[in-house]
Chains A and B, each alone.
Chain A
Amino acid sequence: MNKFHFIDRRKNPKGKSLGNRQRFLRRARAQIKEAVQKSLRDRSVSDLDRGEKISIPAKSTAEPRFRLDPETGRREIVHPGNKEFTTGDRIKKPPKGGGKGRGKDAADSGDSEDEFQFTLTQEEFLDIFFEDLELPNLVKRSLKEIRSTAYRRAGFTVAGSPNNLNLIRTMRNAHGRRLALKRPTTREVNALKERLFELERVFDPSEEEIAEKKALIAKLEEMERRRRWAPFIDPLDVRYNAFEPTPVETTAAVMFCLMDVSGSMGEREKDLAKRFYMLLYLFLKRRYERVEVVFIRHTHHAEEVDEETFFYSRQSGGTVVSTALEKMLEVQKERFPASEWNIYVAQASDGFTQSGDAQRCVEILDQDVMPISQYYAYIEILDERELEVFSDADSGAELWRAYRTFAPKWPNFAQTRIARPQDIFPVFRELFSKDSREAA
């Protein structure tokens, strides 16, 4: 019988090729980025929770080998399935790249694909999409440094709590000490005992045997004494993993998301605004672990809500935009003192508010909000028809025009418009890309 065995590998850790994949993505980084940007044009934000199939030019990751040029020289190839040919028949070659010529490349089935297609996971996709985006002016000049502590490994120590016991170190020390102190091993003791039992069993022991027995007993006692004296594990041997608190610098930032959910915002507009915030939220979650996000929605009165309500619940009513700004200031004063926090605000609205309220908004912004904010982004959600009407940057809904008047005063104020789902990604990039801001 030949030896053989079965091994069930299905439970082996997954992602064995992950390292290779990362190397591949790094290799084709530039092309992949381009492909991601391209694919975003027709992509809605709600698709963000799945991966994306992209194509990159095959050339960027080509693996060239020396090959024979199929366009030169003579070759003879054997094919199966002859029907009517006889020796000497001459057949006109098919035009290049078609018909029956297919089989001819069988020998060198090189990769002739021009495009290389594969799927990016959501993680990879978002990573690449958000790669060169950043929250502007992240560090406030006057900001008090926030320090928190994290524990880091710092070698070994002789004192500690049992859960930090380092077994390997401890046993190694114990082993070394036992060797140095010549502690008799259990095996040695057992060997002696065995011999002793043997002697005990002798019915009529001779002189030598009695002598040996005595010697053995003495030796055993000596061994036991040594074993007590040099224990298997001594408190001296014990080592613990040591941890040391180290200060970690953090930047505290908060993003206020203000959204108009009043009756004037149609379903379409609300949907666009939500998608924009969804993207913003994903971006913050992904890139800034420590950013707090505050969701405020408003009709004629504003309220702070949780993420779930913000994105998924429905509400309707009149429109007073300034209530949202007031609410935001209230929350900010209560929980996010300007001296300790970097403050960001994003506001989405269709630009319509109660008459006179726009002026009030401008006042609040100008006097209270802008001085404490790092960056303020106003996104106006437009009807597609309105986009044509308001093609000029100066004309627009009430709020838009009001904001235009004071915007030049504040370089950290941005306003932009979204009319179609396709606009969301470009607008988002425009608001948060490193380059455009530096230029601005």
Chain B
Amino acid sequence: MSVETRNPGLLFADSDWDFDRLKRTYDAIEDIALGDLGLDVYPNQIEIISSEQMLDAYSSHGMPLMYKHWSFGKRFARDQIRYQKGYQGLAYEIVINSSPCISYLMEENTMTMQTLVMAHACFGHNHFFKNNYLFRQWTDAEGILSYLDFAKKYVAKCEDEYGPAEVETILDSAHALMDQGVFRYARPPRLSEADKLAKAAARADYEQKTFNDIWRTLPNTDEPEDDKEERQQEVRNIKLPEENLLYFIEKASPVLKPWQRELVRIVRNIAQYFYPQKQTKVMNEGCASFVHHYIMNALYDRGLIGEGAMMEFLHSHSAVVFQPEFDDPRYSGINPYALGFSMMQDIRRICEEPTEEDLEWFPEIAGSKDWRSALKTAWAEFRDESFILQYLSPNVMRKMRLFAVEDDAEDTHVEVSAIHDESGFRALRARLAAQYDLGMHEPNIQVVSADLDGDRMLTLKHTMHAGRKLDPKTRDDVLWHVHNLWGFPVKLEEEEA
């Protein structure tokens, strides 16, 4: 401490933060992030919140606005008790893929933690959101906040008009199909296309106008003719099989009313918005961890933070990127922070000090010295699966002592199929990459037929991979939800690919 107080160049010398310090520190971080690393970020909006607000944000997918639903209340109640009992700490930050990029900082954090969090979220994640091809193509950072605002108001209005119970049953059923409510291959339309939002608003408006208590007892034939026409045209355009169950139901369900279709669409749009995040956990966290690690070290090297702060940083950094081994009681799978961080550190090493092995495995980047652009390319053009397939080096596999285990449910034994040796590297890398392919552990379910002119039976098909069936514990419950939205019988077939 005495060292720090003697050094006037430090940004801060004790652990308290205030807005003035935050601003000065932010500027110093920005200088490194943009000037040295050359990151490209959305404007930042940094919000200081209390732990209760952090719990709030947790419960609604980390979004600042969300419609009301009991499941968010449940999540809040669960996280609250875990937090109070100390089973679970809270994240130091939450960051939202939007423009401006919103980061939440907890008020309990020390100044060092705020520094770390700003480097991690406001520059690491922010750069990733803005540059990664999945986010660029599939999500709309500009439009998400206004869309959520619309969704929240729309759901509230529906609750007023049709009753919370009616709204709840639609949302429950749509939530059950969220994993099957995304386009995986075709690029979805942007949310903010002005006409799209305007249309949703117009739809809401129309319903408001046509809503009239006097007519309440009459059958609800609310859907305007031209809307119906357009929707049926869209249904005709759907080529079966269709992988997006929510999309198909929203367009083709024979029983949903217009407002119910809009609710399904809201859930579907939110599912789609989160889909890239599911596919880039390792990269996103790796990128943010690499950036904060680099920036904190640079701050230290420039004499802007003291040794005390550096020790505190290293302590929490190593906790974040800690990877327990498979036989450790704390082990619960591969830590995306650990894998991402060590792979990205290794890319830098390969660029700067390549070995013989690296020259053979990564001829394009080995020894190029320009690790900044190598990393930026990786961050922009890959997702977890392809990133691992492209960049996982023998060095990282050896250091993490990775090994692949084959597990057949029919067998009484598991078999070690590859380890970190010369003959195993490529297989190991392919296996690990496959593990991050969502298609491998999310069931592949598609609509194969819907007899719209006949008995209106909806037929779904689960295409199995490697003999893995649907879990019967949840299968029938989810099918009930499909039926709830479809209104007519639903059939599920399972078939080996």
Point out residues on A near B: beta carbons under 8 Å: 1-10, 12, 14, 16-17, 19-27, 53, 61-83, 85-93, 100, 102-104, 106-109, 116-119
Contacts and interface: CB of A to CB of B under 8 A. Distances in A.
Given A26-B70, A78-B334, 4 more contacts: A65-B179, A68-B469, A75-B407, A76-B404
B47 A87 contact: no
Contact of B403 (A24, A62, A79, A102): A79
Contacts of B178: 65
B41 interface: yes
B467 interface: yes
Given A2-B44, A68-B470, A92 B413 contact: yes
A92 B412 contact: yes
Nearest to B72: A20
Contacts of B332: 102-103, 106, 109
Contacts of A118: 74, 77-78, 80-81
B214 interface: no
B407 A74 contact: yes
B364 interface: no
B404 A77 contact: yes
Contact of A6 (B23, B55, B413): B23
Contact of A3 (B43, B56, B107): B43
Contacts of B215: none
Contacts of B466: 73-75
Contacts of A62: 474, 477
B74 A64 contact: no
B46 to A, nearest CB: 5
A76 B406 contact: yes
29 contacts: A3-B43, A4-B43, A17-B60, A20-B76, A21-B77, A24-B74, A27-B74, A62-B474, A65-B176, A66-B179, A66-B443, A67-B473, A67-B474, A68-B443, A68-B471, A75-B407, A75-B468, A76-B404, A77-B435, A78-B428, A78-B435, A79-B331, A82-B419, A90-B414, A93-B411, A107-B435, A108-B441, A118-B81, A119-B80
B interface secondary structure, majority: mixed
Contacts of A77: 404-405, 407, 431, 435
Contacts of B465: 73
Nearest to B102: A7
B196 interface: no
Contact of A2 (B43, B404, B406): B43
Contacts of B73: 17, 19-25
Contacts of A71: 409
Given A4-B122, A10-B50, A66 B435 contact: no
A16 B424 contact: no
B52 interface: yes
Contacts of A6: 19, 22-23, 46-48
A85 B419 contact: yes
A104 B334 CA distance: 10
Contacts of B445: 66
Nearest to B475: A66
B121 interface: no
Contacts of B393: none
B441 A80 contact: no
B13 interface: no
B49 A20 contact: no
B416 A88 contact: yes
A81 B326 contact: yes
A60 B274 CA distance: 27
A389 B172 CA distance: 56
B56 A9 contact: no
B133 to A, nearest CB: 22
A176 B326 CA distance: 76
A119 B82 CA distance: 10
B377 interface: no
Interface string B390-416: 000000000011111111110111111
A32 to B, nearest CB: 11
Nearest to A104: B407
Given A10-B53, A103-B333, A64 B477 contact: yes
Contacts of B326: 79-82, 100, 103
B149 to A, nearest CB: 14
A19 B164 CA distance: 11
Contacts of B180: 66
Contacts of B404: 76-79
Nearest to A108: B441
Given A6-B19, A9-B49, A68-B441, A87 B416 contact: yes
Contacts of A116: 74, 78
B76 A73 contact: no
B98 interface: no
A76 B417 contact: yes
Contacts of A93: 407, 411-414
B366 interface: no
Interface in B58-89: 59-60, 68-74, 76-78, 80-81, 84
Contacts of B22: 6
B46 A4 contact: yes
A107 to B, nearest CB: 5
B175 interface: yes
Interface in B162-191: 164, 168, 172, 175-176, 178-180
B432 interface: yes
B295 interface: no
Contacts of B23: 6
B280 interface: no
B34 interface: yes
Contacts of B204: none
A20 B68 contact: yes
A306 B74 CA distance: 42
B408 to A, nearest CB: 4
B251 to A, nearest CB: 21
Contacts of B55: 17
A95 to B, nearest CB: 11
A126 to B, nearest CB: 18
Contacts of A22: 73
Contact of B467 (A4, A9, A72): A72
A65 B474 contact: yes
Contact of A61 (B52, B70, B400): B70
B356 interface: no
A-B pairs with lowest CB-CB distance, top 5: A106-B333, A81-B325, A24-B73, A73-B468, A20-B73
A61 to B, nearest CB: 6
Nearest to B398: A82
Contact of A90 (B68, B413, B424): B413
B455 interface: no
Contacts of A10: 48-50, 53, 107
Contacts of A9: 47-49, 53, 104
Given A4-B43, A7-B46, A23 B164 contact: yes
Given A72-B468, A103-B332, A118-B78, A63 B176 contact: yes
Contacts of A65: 176, 178-179, 474, 478
Nearest to A4: B44
Contacts of B424: 87
Contacts of B52: 14
A180 B471 CA distance: 72
Contacts of B423: 87
B36 interface: no
A117 B176 contact: no
